Amino acid sequence: MFKSSWTYHEAPESTDHIQIKEQYELYINGAFTKPVEGKYFDTINPSNNQKIASIAEASKKDVDKAVKAAKKAFKGWAALSGKERGKYIFRIARLIQERAREFAVIESLDGGKPIRESRDIDIPLAANHFFYYAGWADKLAYAFPNRKVKPVGVAGQIIPWNFPLLMAAWKLAPALATGNTVVLKPAETTPLTALKLAEIIHDSGLPKGVVNIVTGAGATGAEIVNHPEVDKIAFTGSTGVGKYIQNAIAGTHKKVTLELGGKGANIIFEDAAIDQAVEGIINAIFFNQGHVCCAGSRLFVQESVANVVIQKLKDRMETLIVGDPLDKNTDIGAINSKKQLQTIENYIKIGLNEGGEIYQPNCNLPKKGNWCAPTLFLNVSQSHRIVQEEIFGPVLAIQTFRTIDEVIEKANNTPYGLSAGVWTQTGSKIFHLTQKLNAGVIWANTFNKFDATSPFGGYKESGFGREGGLHGLSSYVTFD
């Protein structure tokens, strides 16, 4: 994901011909609709903190309209043959591909991630997700052999700001393939690609009301969660809001899946291919500014190779380019919001106060906007807050270990259980660790690799339910 240390000059990605409106409305019942209470909020470009556009803020009444539209559309959509539903989903996938450049530029403008990542990872993966689930729509009998399945009904879907289009794809594609209708809310700081997606969905001719997109902040999300006619909640976001949602729906008929936070362990054994492992560490923590639920934010290096790995890591960090998200040479873009930057800076202070030894390379951070230098901490232990708590930024906590049992114990010792990475040339060690590590996804000799065919989800406070792959269909069906 990250380029090697040499650079060449290419012009920043141009924003010419990228259509961004001054004001965006809600997408309800197949129409772009003004919010009932007439409120709008700004979406900001985090690389300069300037306003990009005004976005409609959905109130309780708007959410109610969207849920009613989804409910009305449900019968017809669920009754369509899988083949017909699949055709629409394929069309959406194709339209994303056709407008991939536009999506990539808007994603980087609105959210701050490097254009190389949105262009090469987020947008292609989002299209793939629709392709993959389009393929399942007429094969549900094979997905659930000898079971009679029905869609759940109206799905309320709430997503975070770190992979805006991709998370929308993860939510929408399996819900549509199985015959559900949807009310989706993107995060307040990154609504633009979901609204572009609404335009594409409109162009695809999808029957009205099948997908409704309502923008707003946490209060809009809560209105979806609490609406009595929503049958399923699919949420990706923080563990705190996940707990609120679980409480809010206790005792109701609603089904729920929660994809929450993480504190992934990335484990480097002495027999690993060290240079590759160093690239893997960089990718694990600095990809998307570390705004990644499954980031490898805790590094465990076997003691015998710790000095060499840490030195190489510091050298490599010196070459990382922090800056304009639209510049194709950029490795680390802007921090998504002022608020998130404050959270990260606060954790850096906490790390220092706890006695951690900090290292940051000499990099020139731009003057305007939200920026954080890639950061690592040495001299930390299991009880440190920066080892236990999710920072959601480019901050790595490094510890060493001697034995396999020790590293398994340490890796599992957090409230989370979302991801882990293992670097070794020994296959048996990989199999041993994949059995012992309490994580939904474990990568071997790679990190942060995503694929539509592969299930993703957590244990413990990282949530429950799986998205992606065959497993991702289950939470959108009920069994007779």
Give residues in contact with ligand NAP (CB under 6 A). Answer: 158-162, 185, 187-188, 217-218, 221-222, 225, 236-238, 241, 244, 259-262, 293, 390, 392, 418, 458, 462-463
Residue 110 binds which one of Mg ion, ligand NAP, none, with CB within 5 to 8 A depending on kind? Mg ion
Q: Torsions phi, psi of 444, nearest 5?
A: -115, 120
Q: Which is nearer to ligand NAP, 30 or 261 (CB)?
A: 261
How many residues are listed for the chain in this entry?
A: 480
- The H or E element spanning position 443 is strand 441-444
- Determine which helix (DSSP H) or strand (DSSP E) holds 432, and give its type and residue range: helix 427-436
Q: How far is the CB of 191 from ligand NAP (least distance, A)?
A: 8
Q: Which does 259 bind (CB under 5 to 8 A by kind): Mg ion, ligand NAP, none?
A: ligand NAP
**Binding of Mg ion by 162 (CB under 5 A):** no
Q: How far apart are CA 179 and CA 295, in angstroms?
A: 33
294 catalytic per annotation = no
Selecting among 259, 279, 390, 467, the annotated active-site residue is 259
Which one from 57, 293, 294, 467 is the annotated catalytic residue?
293
Residue 238's binding partner out of Mg ion, ligand NAP, none, with CB under 5 to 8 Å set by partner kind? ligand NAP
Report whether 336 contacts 294 (CB < 8 A): no
Kindly give the residue spans of alpha helices, DSSP state H, lying in 319-415: 338-353, 385-388, 404-412
**What's the CA gap between 100 and 473, in Å, rounded?**
26
**Least distance in Å: CB of 157 to ligand NAP?**
10
Residue 43 contacts which entry, ligand NAP, Mg ion, none (Cβ below 5-8 A, type-dependent): Mg ion
Does residue 107 interact with Mg ion by CB under 5 A?
no
Residue 79: Cβ within 10 Å count: 9
SS3 state at 29: coil
Report the nearest approach of ligand NAP to the CB of residue 335 (Å).
Answer: 12
Is 414 among the residues that bind Mg ion (CB under 5 A)?
Answer: no
Is 223 assigned a catalytic role? Answer: no
Return the amino acid letter for 471: H
Closer CB to ligand NAP, 192 or 293, in the complex: 293
Residue 189 touching Mg ion (CB under 5 A):
yes
Least gap, CB of 317 to ligand NAP (angstroms):
23
Q: 61 with 224: CB under 8 angstroms? A: no
Write out the H or E segment, with its range, that includes residue 286. helix 274-286
d(CA 294, CA 416): 10
Residue nearest to Mg ion according to CB distances in the complex: 110
Q: Which stretch binds Mg ion (CB under 5 A): 110-118, 424-432, 446-454, 456-464?
A: 110-118
Q: Based on the shown chain and the rule CB under 5 A, indicate whether residue 193 belongs to the binding site for Mg ion.
A: no
Q: In angstroms, what is the minimal distance from the CB of 51 to Mg ion?
A: 9
Residue nearest to ligand NAP (CB): 221
Spatial distance between the Cα atoms of 78 and 140, rounded to a whole number of angstroms: 13
Other Cβ atoms closer than 10 A to 81 = 10
Judged by CB, which is closer to ligand NAP: 5, or 342?
342
Q: Which stretch binds Mg ion (CB under 5 A): 122-130, 186-194, 275-283, 376-384?
A: 186-194
Least Cα distance to 359 among 312, 324, 321 occurs for 312
E strand or H helix at 220: helix 218-226
Q: Which stretch binds Mg ion (CB under 5 A): 44-52, 228-236, 407-415, 459-467?
A: 44-52
What residues contact 5, with CB distance under 8 A and at least 6 apart?
A: 316, 319
Residues that bind Mg ion (CB under 5 A): 43-44, 110, 189
- So which residues are the catalytic ones? 259, 293
